[in-house]
Amino acid sequence: MGGDSIHNSRMRQWFASSPPVTWGIRQLRELLIGALRQGPIPQHVAFVMDGNRRFARNNHLETVEGHNLGFEALARILEVCYKSGVKVVTVYAFSIENFKRSKYEVDALMEMAKTKLTQLSQHGALLDRYGASIRILGQREMVRPDVLERVDAAIKLTEKNTRCILNVCFPYTSREEITGAVQKTVSDFSKPIPPPLKRPFSETHITRNLRAQTNNSVPEDAHSQNSVSRSASTSSSKSSQDQAHDSSSADADPESSAPTLVDPADAHDKIREVYPDSESITAETLTANMLTAEAPPLDLLVRTSGVQRLSDFMLWQCHQTTSIVFLDCLWPEFDLWEFLPVLVEWQWQRKKQLENARGRLRDKED
């Protein structure tokens, strides 16, 4: 009986790997993906890639081999996403909490990150074919320098790709991301608002220059009066000379008793520093300081392995319209046939939301 089961399993594997069947499955995949593109497509999809170690245990494999198979599953799903029209894919590759695992496993994951990211980003590889760039989200200071060097090289290889994005959260927790966003917001709102730039040809600037030129020039009448006073002083007494000198001094300096004028432009420079109003901080302010600030809103989050929790992943990005799906399959088993029903369900929900929105709009118009 056991021999028959093994024989049947081998026959199925042989049949599935035969060239005609492989070609037929590939054509069916392309047909299904083309059908998906006819409806709305999520622009931002996130994955919690859970179940690699359990898959390895269930199949009597090394833990590292389970992670390798998980990477192959990621490559398959990325191709489905980018072919379908998804613009941003965010994957939970390594949690900060994963550093608590054995040193052997952590080192193996780091080495895998070096190798696999390089493979993905090489010329002609998956990311290059679909015009996707890599972005690393997380605490870079916790990663070994040799790993960072390879990661940065992969980022540089794909930096000119602009059609799609692959966000790799590594090492990451949502609490750390939110904490960083709050710290950046506090720092921004602790800086004074810079004063407006002075325009060299503004009305105030021109008026100030004209006034300065007028004050510095001496009228011709004042010069003639000075010469008459000097000739009269030679034939008068000392007291007359002092009076003439005082009179001449007063005529020569008509501005000496004039009140001091304060230029508004100079007064503006002495205004106290103004800081941003903390009451203006909103949810959008924090969103702009998140690691995913440049990404569209999160449309769909998928977690495999049957575990129904977010595990400190994308807590801020999950909003009222984000679809969160928990699947029982393990991540190395995840492929188009598991993902297809999720996308179809998301499309149906989105169409229903759009219809409800149009109905409310018609009711308001009536």
Q: State pLDDT tens for residues 306-349.
A: 999 999 999 999 999 999 999 999 999 999 999 999 999 999 99
- In which residue are the tokens 């780091």 written? 110
| 58 in a structural domain | yes
| 314 in a structural domain | yes
Which of 98, 251, 263, 335 does the annotation list as catalytic? 98
> pLDDT category, 145, cuts 50, 70, 90?
very high
| Residue 326 parent element (H or E) | strand 323-326
* Per-residue pLDDT at 10: 58
Q: What is the SS3 assignment for 297?
A: coil
Cis check: omega of the bond before 171, within 30 degrees of 0: yes
Q: Which residues are CB-contacts of 177 (< 8 A; sequence separation ≥ 6)? A: 137, 290, 291, 316
pLDDT tens profile 40-61 = 999 999 999 999 999 999 999 9
Average pLDDT value for residue range 78-104: 95
Query: For the packed helices 63-84 and 336-365, what is the interaxial angle rounded to 10 degrees?
Result: 40
Please tell me the total count of domains within the chain: 1
What single DSSP character describes residue 189? H
What the block records as the tokens of 340 is 């297809």
Boundaries of domain holding 102: 41-179+295-358
Per-residue pLDDT at 366 exceeds 80: no
| 107 in a structural domain | yes
Which of 4, 50, 68, 312 does the annotation list as catalytic? 50
Q: Please give the mean pLDDT across all residues of the chain.
A: 83
- In angstroms, the Cα distances linking 324 to 46, 303, 332, 342 are 9, 8, 20, 10
pLDDT tens profile 21-39 = 778 878 888 898 999 999 9
* Per-residue pLDDT at 153: 94
> pLDDT category, 214, cuts 50, 70, 90?
confident
Using an 8 Å Cβ cutoff, are 211 and 296 in contact? no
Per-residue pLDDT at 228 exceeds 60: no
| 155 in a structural domain | yes
CATH number at residue 350: 3.40.1180.10
Using an 8 Å Cβ cutoff, are 74 and 89 in contact? no
Q: Respond yes or no: is residue 209 known to be catalytic.
A: no
| 53 in a structural domain | yes
Neighbours of 48 (CB within 10 A): 23
pLDDT tens profile 276-304 = 888 999 999 999 999 999 999 999 999 99
Supply the pTM of this predicted model: 0.75
| 68 in a structural domain | yes
* Per-residue pLDDT at 29: 85
Q: Respond yes or no: is residue 251 known to be catalytic.
A: no
What are the two backbone dihedrals, phi and then psi, of residue 179, each rounded to the nearest 5 degrees?
-60, -45
| 352 in a structural domain | yes
Beta bridge partners of 180: none
| 258 in a structural domain | no
